[in-house]
Structure 1
């Protein structure tokens, strides 16, 4: 397995994986993903098995301590010198799930954020995944203010 930052030519495969991992009302659009790749490619990590992309993690950096819905669609809110690494998605294609792939990718991203001197990372997840992210040191802060996709989200924070 290899982990690297994304490049523009990864766009089509990323869009395909996003559609496999999230319902349409929650999935990032092709336009949104393209903007993220253009504005903060060094905060968009892809995981490969040989030449095959099997997953990715992405998110902007900001001084805002909470993940807000507008961050998903407005890449201009990224602040490279920000304190918090936001995580918008941890995507792994179905046949690679439950094999430690997402964990390896998430650990890589945590290490990157720590090396960059961030205060920590913030993500939102559904109730059924709170325990999963807790394994990495994320602490639930309760129900998020996010209404993204008309779903109840829990904000999780990992502080360094």
Structure 2
């Protein structure tokens, strides 16, 4: 088993994260390099990197809001983000396809949830495709509703974890 380490993202991580994002996500659902760089610059505390033997293999990024509107596309560029807000909105949970199936997503999520608890956050919200609803339910998220978002031209489901 490789040595796993977690750390907050640095501006130099943007290109590798973009590479992972575009490899792992379908079509237009992947964030642009600019969006990833913005998320790192504006809220590095909410951008968690997973390294396996020193190589970046996955990440989670988020923003925080007082009022969560999961279908708000501008929020994906952290428009309306307030670092002190109690509600976390995950934008990406992604592991390089070459490293999937090793439990890395669960390890990443476990660390992320602990860090958000340590920051005093109250809830974590995410949107996922139907095939991932059960996975997130096993991680402690409750199903909320089908999302009005059509991000990337796909159907999404909203889920929440109360911390």
- The structure 2 residue matched to 1:87, chosen from 74, 87, 90, is 90
- Counterpart CA distance in 2 for 1:53 and 1:101 is 12
Deviates more, 1:36-45 or 1:75-84: 75-84
Extract unaligned runs of 5+ from structure 2. none
Match of 2:131 in 1: 128
Note if contact 1:114-1:120 (Cα within 8 Å) is conserved in structure 2: no
Extract unaligned runs of 5+ from structure 1. none
Match of 1:100 in 2: 103
Match of 2:148 in 1: 145
* 1:44 pairs with 2:47: yes
Q: CA deviation at 1:37?
A: 1.0
* 1:78 pairs with 2:81: yes
Match of 2:37 in 1: 34
Note if contact 1:39-1:76 (Cα within 8 Å) is conserved in structure 2: no
RMSD across aligned positions (CA): 1.1
Match of 1:69 in 2: 73
- Counterpart CA distance in 2 for 1:97 and 1:28 is 19
Equivalent residue pairs, number: 159
Match of 2:21 in 1: 18
